[in-house]
Amino acid sequence: MHLIWTILIGFVAGLVARAITPGNGPSGFFLTAALGIGGALAATFLGQALHWYRPGQSAGFIGAVVGAVILLLAYHLISKKS
């Protein structure tokens, strides 16, 4: 059940990040969910590296959205140059 909640929250975080970030990004349920989950992982690793989170502690929903926005911005920079 935890995996299902992770995917659903990742999807919602990806939707919010896509709404915040201008431009066309990856679309579809699976890519949006992967974007949100990747954003949560990026925010968790960055937060633990900066000592904002303790080891074993994960980023919350806002951290997932911020991480997903960062990933989307990186996607736009890479796809613009190609």
What average pLDDT is seen over the chain? Answer: 82
Burial-class residue 29 by CB neighbours within 10 Å (0-12, 13-18, 19+): exposed
Residue range 5-30, pLDDT digits in tens? 777 888 888 889 888 888 777 677 88
- The answer on pLDDT for 60 being more than 70 is yes
Residue 18 three-state SS: helix
- The answer on pLDDT for 78 being more than 80 is yes
Domain count, the chain: 1
Tokens 């975080």 -> residue: 13
For residue 58, the tally of other CB atoms under 10 A from its CB is 15
pTM for the model: 0.79
Range of the domain at 8: 2-81
Calpha distance 80→75 (Å, rounded): 8
- Mean pLDDT value of segment 33-38: 85
